[in-house]
């Protein structure tokens, strides 16, 4: 009885203290809002120039949210990015654009199949001159993108300059609702071997995967590779429903925990599965995140699939959409999620930065051990660690520079003009003569590669000068520079094996679009080959899942 009285007294004392703490927190918020209001009003009154409230307050909002985490963002009422993120839909012409530095204009990079841009005849490499008569010289890519988008059914005039054509071309385009497939490609890729590439999670993703899975089973699939590499996530509901295609009804896939009770939820599979027995490998990499980590992590925790690749991004946070006073929307992190083993795979601590201002990560030594359904050891705090580590080949700096260059795109445009058709996607290959022609084109185009060794050598020179040792080491610096220096043609030939697959992929995409690009990449994909090899060895597959 005495213990109960002490506990009751403690509660009576604690409740007022808790109330004081809440009041103190609210008073602190009110004081800082008052301070912000006073500062803004004085700037508005005394600053030498007139400031736009939309711009200035917009800066403040972005700065504040930028110090919370990268996923908490404000979207004005007229911003359709949020809708596209949630549904995978937007209204526009269906084309990827990027800035061409030499032309100082945005350029069409990839028209999507079946969209207004492709049906009208736009091609990769087309330089955008004007939109409805407005010159696009030096206009930033996001602004050009916004002008290409609009209400479905509205039309505009687009004027472009096409490489190889003397006169500009004019197109009349009508915007429509664009929804890109989240399964750009699936197919049989060998004896009984099925492959599904899932690029994101949006409205309809489950149906796309279900259709692909049913079709492959009808074609005699006995093994499956599910590719989630570079899948940045999306809808948590779609991820759970896709898990449900491979595991039984009533399984808890995810639960969430947040500050508000309404943020605490549990998600179960609710339907009958489509396939619970086909051996499966799930491919992941460092850009596999969010809903893609829920899918891969759940299948790992339930011992339903072997996860292969490299450690995933580590996003264990959940966002929700809240309306704000000006009819805009705030996407805000409301909870952490936990997958079937009970682990949260969040890797980054955005509230506690390191001494140099970077976002800290959880060191492996501080992660906790959890167990899959069959007793295998897994850990929290750092993304999904694959059951089988398989890395893609590292690429030299010149390979990245070539892949992202305007010159490569223009070469591909010239190649397409000279070839009415090519071999089917997955079997196309450039000849040695074609590659030699590409090397010559890159030399004549003025392409420049920013070699990382040159940058490091310059930094070393500066450090040597600061420390007063450069003069006596000058001869060694000159010898090192001479040894590292190569001409462009030699470097492109030396990196032939690495560059040619990406060049072939870009060419194939011009004829067979996204599905062709994905299919072509499998020809030289060593990680995919590892997955196929494992699935052809049932004993090795079983030893991983049931050691």
pLDDT of residue 482: 75
Give alpha helix (H) positions in 47-97: 53-66, 81-87
Give alpha helix (H) positions in 419-495: 432-445, 452-466, 470-484, 488-494
Q: Catalytic residue, from 298, 315, 341, 449: name it.
A: 315
CB atoms within 10 A of CB 130: 17
Q: What does the radius of gyration of the chain's CA atoms come to, in whole angstroms?
A: 28
Q: Is 509 designated active site?
A: no
Burial class of residue 137 (count of CB atoms within 10 Å of its CB; 0-12, 13-18, 19+) = exposed
What six digits make up the tokens of 150? 């609009």
pLDDT of residue 12: 40
CA 138 to mean position of chain CA atoms = 27
> Rounded CA gap, 537 and 31, in Å?
66
What six digits make up the tokens of 19? 């109330």
The alpha carbon torsion through 17, 22, 28, 30 (nearest 10 deg) reads: -140
Contacts of 544 (CB under 8 A, 6+ apart): 306, 387, 388, 534
Q: Is 301 designated active site?
A: yes
Are the CB atoms for 278 and 305 separated by under 8 Å? no
Distances (CA, A) of 440 to 408, 409, 503: 12, 15, 14
> Rounded CA gap, 268 and 231, in Å?
23
CATH number of 185-392: 3.90.226.10
One digit per residue, the tens of pLDDT, for the chain of length 547 reads 445 444 343 334 444 444 555 568 889 999 999 999 999 999 999 999 998 988 888 899 999 998 899 999 998 877 777 777 767 778 899 999 999 988 999 999 999 999 999 999 999 999 999 999 999 999 999 999 999 999 999 999 999 999 889 999 999 999 999 988 999 999 999 899 999 999 999 999 999 999 999 999 999 999 999 999 999 999 999 999 999 999 999 999 999 999 999 999 999 999 999 999 999 999 999 999 999 999 999 999 999 999 999 999 999 999 998 998 877 899 999 999 999 999 999 999 887 777 777 888 888 888 999 999 999 999 998 899 999 999 988 888 899 999 999 999 999 999 999 999 999 999 999 999 999 999 999 999 988 887 777 778 888 888 888 888 888 888 888 888 777 667 889 999 999 999 999 999 999 999 999 999 999 999 999 999 999 999 999 999 999 999 8
Specify the 3-state DSSP secondary structure of 478.
helix
Q: Is 331 designated active site?
A: no
15-28 in b/e form (b: 16+ CB < 10 A) is eeeeeeeeeeeeee
User: For the whole prediction, is pTM greater than 0.85?
Assistant: yes
3-state secondary structure 322-333: EECCCCCEEEEE
Q: Catalytic residue, from 69, 126, 227, 301: name it.
A: 301
Q: Catalytic residue, from 117, 200, 235, 290: name it.
A: 290
Give the angle subtended at the CA of 88 by the CAs of 82 and 92, to the nearest 5°: 85
Specify the 3-state DSSP secondary structure of 126.
coil
> Rounded CA gap, 434 and 52, in Å?
55
What six digits make up the tokens of 245? 């295609």
CATH number of 89-179: 2.30.42.10
Going from N- to C-terminal start, the domains of the chain cover 28-67, 89-179, 185-392, 397-524
pLDDT of residue 23: 64
The residues facing 226 across adjacent strands are 196, 282
Are the CB atoms for 411 and 442 separated by under 8 Å? yes
What six digits make up the tokens of 185? 């490609």
DSSP for 391-406, written as a single string = -PPP--HHHHHHHT-H
Closest by CA position to 447, among listed 409, 406, 478, 477: 406
What six digits make up the tokens of 452? 């990382």
pLDDT of residue 461: 85
Are the CB atoms for 470 and 379 separated by under 8 Å? no
Contacts of 301 (CB under 8 A, 6+ apart): 339, 340, 341, 343, 372, 373, 378
The residues facing 393 across adjacent strands are none
Are the CB atoms for 350 and 66 separated by under 8 Å? no
Instruction: Report the largest interatomic distance among the alpha carbons of the chain, rounded to a whole angstrom.
Output: 97
Nearest-10 crossing angle of helices 53-66, 2-46: 140
């Amino acid at each position: 009885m005495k213990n109960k009285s002490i506990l009751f007294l403690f509660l009576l004392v604690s409740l007022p203290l808790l109330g004081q703490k809440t009041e103190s927190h609210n008073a602190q918020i009110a004081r800082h809002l008052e301070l912000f209001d006073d500062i803004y009003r004085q700037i508005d009154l005394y600053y030498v120039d007139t400031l736009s409230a939309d711009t200035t307050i917009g800066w403040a909002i972005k700065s504040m949210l930028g110090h919370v985490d990268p996923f908490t963002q404000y979207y004005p009422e007229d911003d359709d990015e949020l809708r596209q993120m949630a549904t995978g839909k937007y209204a526009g012409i269906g084309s990827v654009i990027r800035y061409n530095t030499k032309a100082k204009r945005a350029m069409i990079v990839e028209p999507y199949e079946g969209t207004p841009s492709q049906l009208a005849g736009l091609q990769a490499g087309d330089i955008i001159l004007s939109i409805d008569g407005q010159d696009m010289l030096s206009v930033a890519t996001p602004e050009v993108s916004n002008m290409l988008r609009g209400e479905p059914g509205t039309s505009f005039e687009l004027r472009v300059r096409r490489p190889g054509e003397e006169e500009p071309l004019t197109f009349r385009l009508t915007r429509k609702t664009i929804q890109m497939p989240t399964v750009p490609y699936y197919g049989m890729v060998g004896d009984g071997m099925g492959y599904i590439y899932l690029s994101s999670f949006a409205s309809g993703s489950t149906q796309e995967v279900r259709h692909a899975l049913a079709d492959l089973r009808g074609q005699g699939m006995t093994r499956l590779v599910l590719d989630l590499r570079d899948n940045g996530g999306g809808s948590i509901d779609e991820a759970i429903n896709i898990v449900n295609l491979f595991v039984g009804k009533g399984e808890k896939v995810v639960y969430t925990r947040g500050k508000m009770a309404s943020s605490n939820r549990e998600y179960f599979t609710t339907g009958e599965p489509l396939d619970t027995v086909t051996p499966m490998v799930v491919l992941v990499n460092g850009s596999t995140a969010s809903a893609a980590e829920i899918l891969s992590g759940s299948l790992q925790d339930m011992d339903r699939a072997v996860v292969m690749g490299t450690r995933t991004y580590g996003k264990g946070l959940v966002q929700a959409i809240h309306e704000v006073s000006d009819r805009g929307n705030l996407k805000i992190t409301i909870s952490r999620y936990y997958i079937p083993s009970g682990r949260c795979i969040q890797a980054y601590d955005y509230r506690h930065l390191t001494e140099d201002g970077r976002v800290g990560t959880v060191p492996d030594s501080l992660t906790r051990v959890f167990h899959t359904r069959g007793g295998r050891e897994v850990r929290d705090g750092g993304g999904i660690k694959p059951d089988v580590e398989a890395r893609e080949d590292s690429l030299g700096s010149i390979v990245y520079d070539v892949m992202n260059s305007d010159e490569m795109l223009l070469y591909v445009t010239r190649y397409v003009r000279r070839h009415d058709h090519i071999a089917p996607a997955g079997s196309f290959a450039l000849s040695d003569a074609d590659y030699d022609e590409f090397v010559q084109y890159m030399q004549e185009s003025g392409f420049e590669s920013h070699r990382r060794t040159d940058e490091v050598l310059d930094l070393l020179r500066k450090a040597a000068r600061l420390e007063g040792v450069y003069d006596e080491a000058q001869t060694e610096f000159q010898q090192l520079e001479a040894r590292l220096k190569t001409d462009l043609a030699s470097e492109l030939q030396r990196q032939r094996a690495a560059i040619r697959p990406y060049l072939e992929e870009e060419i194939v995409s011009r004829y067979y679009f996204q599905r062709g690009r994905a299919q072509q990449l499998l020809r030289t994909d060593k990680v995919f080959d590892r997955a196929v090899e494992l699935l052809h060895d049932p004993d090795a597959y079983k030893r991983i899942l049931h050691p």
